[in-house]
Amino acid sequence: MKLELCDKRKAIIAQAGHLLVLGGPGSGKTTIALLKARQRFVTLKPGQEILFLSFSRAAIRQVVLRCKEILTPAERRAVTVQTYHAFCMEMLEAHGRLLGGKPIRFLYPGEERLQKSAFDGDWQVERRRQATELGLYCFDLFAAGAAELLERCVALRNLIADHFPMIIVDEFQDTDDDQWKIVKALSEVTDVFCL
């Protein structure tokens, strides 16, 4: 795909370090991010990738389609496109034992609804207790668990940064407190490009 870029967009692509790009829907933020990823691709070492995080599977599908339009097959293979929840779930599965010494298990939404309906008390407190004491994480606590892992473990932050020297965060305005903690912790060790 051949694109003509204005000087402002060229400057974004050329800029090193952390970036925040503002723009409304359809303004080309994703395209600029993927062009930035293309530029970064040539500096990746073997085994390194660029991580593109978004919130919904629908948004992920759109990003994957844009990748096919903009990036070569080799460049696409170096871009991992995931939802926050998938990224956090993988991190908890792989490294969650660092939080409490136990393997992490997941309480999926249907199971959680059943437990909640049978529970007499403050469900929010119970969910946190289960995560802390039992290593049982509800869907809504994935980001909190991942944030705690990243805040507590410098080696894990460095491991992720070594694998993902650039992270693109889509729909940054929708980032909640726990997701922000993830972005903030990773921004200490890798380049973060927020849209």
Which stretches within the chain are classed as H helix? 7-14, 29-41, 57-70, 73-77, 84-95, 97-100, 109-118, 123-129, 142-152, 154-163, 177-187
pLDDT in tens, the chain (195 residues): 567 777 777 777 778 888 888 888 878 888 889 989 999 999 999 999 999 999 888 888 998 999 999 999 999 999 999 999 999 999 999 999 999 898 999 999 999 999 999 999 999 999 999 999 999 999 999 999 999 999 999 999 999 999 999 999 998 888 899 999 999 999 999 999 998
At residue 8, the pLDDT reads 76
Secondary structure letter of residue 45 according to DSSP:
P
Query: Could you tell me the pTM of the whole model?
Result: 0.88
Specify which residues 19 forms β-bridges with. Answer: 193
